[in-house]
Amino acid sequence: MAELALRVRGLRKRYPKVLAVDDVDLDVARGEVFGLLGPNGAGKTTTLEIVEGLTPADAGEVQVLGLDLEKHGREIRSRFGVQLQSTSLYNKVTPREALELYGSYYPKRRPTAELLDLIQLADKADAYHVTLSGGQQQRLAIGLALVNDPELVFLDEPTTGLDPQARRSLWEIVRRMKAEGRTVILTTHYMEEAEALCDRLAIMDHGRILTVGTPPGLVQELRIPSVVELAFDGIAPEATSFARRLGHPVEVRGGLWEIPSQDPKTLLPQLLDAAEAENVPFQQIHMRRATLEDVFLQRTGRSLRE
Amino acid sequence: MIGTFDMLRRQFVMEWKLYSRDRAAMFWTFFFPILLLLGFGVIFRSGSGPALTLVVVSAPEGGSPDAGLEAALEHGPLKLMKLSAADAEARWRKGETAAQLDFPSGTPRLRVNSYLTAQGGAAAQVVQQAYLIAQAKSRGSEPSLIPIVMESPGHTRSATYAAFLLPGLLGLNLLTMGLFSVGMVTVSYREKGKFRRLAVTPLPKWVFLGGQVLHRLTIVVIQSTMLLLVGFFGFGIRNQGSFASLAFVMTLGTACFMAMGFALSSFAETTEAYAAISNLCFFPMMLLSGVYFTLDAAPRWLQTAVIALPLSPFVKALRAVFNDGAGLGEHTFGLLLVALWTLAAFSFAVKRFRWS
């Protein structure tokens, strides 16, 4: 087996009030896009900070690109690229200047013009950082993570706070990274993002890794291919008596009732009967494939978005 | 890979480039001290300062109840403002009058505004003197006054307030640079995660800090040179001591206040908290360390307390070198105090400095 891009064993980190990382093991192969998916406070960022060398762990072993993190920090830093959750740049620095300056810190560097093209900022190359949109600033942050032509790239919540269009253009950049043969490790709390980008992902909650697998594999493990949703006008009503009549568990979430099912064809008529008998005032009915969201829900009893 | 020296140079050039785009910072750093020097220097130009005004209440029927006294005052340094009793009372009530001479029952009386004791008191002294002269003259004798010579302390060359102020402003610049440009910037970089971003690159941290320090040093040099030039061309102020001594004292001060900025930055998590902490240090030093005026009239305990703050011995030594041409040996104690502060702040900063 080829050398791993990241190997983590028994990682543990306690902050005064919380056990942020609890016995985490990870293996990320070279060339993979690997995702850490979980809600805010799950320990994703702390895990990344430890493997990036920013935060010391209380216990555990970390090997990055086959090198021991503690012994070869400087070499590792020159071979990986990092985008932190908040990248603070000077207000009045231009993308070109920032890329040049950060590039000068590394032994190996990519040409600035090439990077500007990659992050689609060629036409904003000489505009001040403050004048860039959120998506442009984020693309610059990612460009800075690529100045040294890194073998491994860490992206911490790269699309948080961006509009859908900006998010998609960032996804494109991540796919380019993969096509160029880089290993990408990213955190996200958007399941669509994990599904769209990641070859494999680990679902994290309360500092622990709950499960690791490919996105389709994780959904298949659920053995619940479909979810039927009843949509209400406004907040969905309480569902206890309906669920009893139906003989199926019902999740109430916002304006929806969700009923996971292995056999939607049989469920659907039963469901309509029960709804009529209980006089349920739903507006619409949908059927959808199960997603990572349902995987998370089943594993933790909570929604990712909560 | 470019060499470490080259990295440092790039860091330094970048600092300057970014700094030059910050107009407000440039103004406060370079032009504000010059404006202060020009402003105060002109206002308090010896001999031509604004004259003290004395309100003189005229008798209702016109003329003066004490012609001798008024004649003596006419030739004195006070600007006389003759008002009717009603006008004088109105002006007094508005609080504009510092001192007023009236004749309630034919005999002179002085009213001094208790809010403006400095001007009012000085004016009153002049009136007292004029009164004595007038009385002596009425008895037929010709009184004479003790001559006054204006001289800067410790030196034969007469010096203006601008000359007194200039070394104080040089010192104040260093304090501002240390507490705000160094300390505040460090806190904000830490708060915004700039240091963390650098920590995941192979750049040695000292190169980054080195670039910052070099940038601040060049600012100090430019700022001081500009002030000295304005002092020389605007007020004819020149360095009376040796330039080597001046450079030595300035270097020591720069090191001291930069180290203080780094040390203070470790006390605050946020820029807001740092603003409070640094002002707590800045204002007592600025007001009590003899930058704008000497503390000779202040209570003994206060003078002793201020000596412990580094700005006070620093400004004293700088002023002695610059205005009085003193050698470094004459201010060993003060310079030693500054050096001690530097050492303490520096070791504290090294020990407590945090990147995140």
Per-residue CA distances from B94 to B59, B80, B88, B91, B113 (Å): 21, 18, 10, 5, 11
Across the range B23-50, mean pLDDT stands at 79
CA distances in angstroms from A18 to A41, A43, B97, listed in the order given: 10, 10, 68
Residues in chain A with CB shorter than 8 Å from the CB of B189 are 88
Are the beta carbons of B192 and A77 separated by less than 8 Å? no
Q: Are the beta carbons of B341 and B253 closer than 8 angstroms?
A: no
The rounded distance, in Å, linking the Cα atoms of A106 and B203 is 8
Mean pLDDT (chain A) is 90
Mean pLDDT (whole number) for B179-190: 90
Interatomic CA distance for residues A248 and A260, integer angstroms:
8
3-class secondary-structure state, position A219: helix
CB contact under 8 A, B197 and A97: no
Phi, psi of B271, rounded to the nearest 5 degrees: -65, -30
pLDDT value, residue A121? 94
Per-residue confidence at A220, pLDDT binned at 50, 70, 90? Answer: confident
Give the nearest partner residue to A101 out of B1, B14, B200, using CB atoms: B14
Judge: B200–A104 Cβ closer than 8 Å, yes or no.
no
A93 part of contact set with chain B, CB < 8 Å: yes
**pLDDT tens string A24-38:** 999 999 999 999 998
Count CA atoms closer than 13 A to B80's CA, side-chain side.
16
Length of chain B: 356
Residues 6+ apart with CB under 8 A from A210: A203, A204, A299, A300
CB pair distance less than 8 Å for A92 and B18: yes
> Is the pLDDT score of A79 beyond 90?
yes
Q: How far apart are CA A80 and CA A147, in angstroms?
A: 10
Per-residue model confidence (pLDDT) at position B46: 57
Contact A92 B1 (CB under 8 A): no
Which single residue is written with the structure tokens 């799950």?
A42
3-state DSSP call for residue A183? strand
Check if the beta carbon of residue A98 is closer than 8 Å to that of residue A129. yes
The whole-number pLDDT of residue B258 equals 94
- Give yes or no for a contact between A184 and A174, defined as CB atoms under 8 angstroms apart: yes
pLDDT digits (tens, 9 = 90+) for A88-114: 788 889 999 999 999 999 999 999 999
Q: Average pLDDT of B232-252?
A: 90
Burial class (CB in 10 A: 0-12, 13-18, 19+), A2: exposed
End-to-end Cα, chain B, rounded Å: 27
Distance from CA of A285 to the nearest CA of B (A): 47
- How crowded is residue A217: how many other Cβ atoms within 10 Å of its Cβ? 12
The model's confidence at residue A304, banded by pLDDT at 50, 70 and 90, is low
Interchain contact A107–B (C-beta under 8 A): yes
- Please calculate the CA angle B210-B212-B215 and round it to the nearest 5 degrees: 110
Average pLDDT score over residue span B160-174 = 88
State whether ipTM is beyond 0.90: no
Chain A partners within 8 Å of B355 (Cβ): none
**Residues 6 or more apart in contact with residue A211 via CB below 8 angstroms:** A202, A203, A218, A221, A295, A299
Domains of chain A: 4-219 (3.40.50.300), 223-289 (3.30.70)
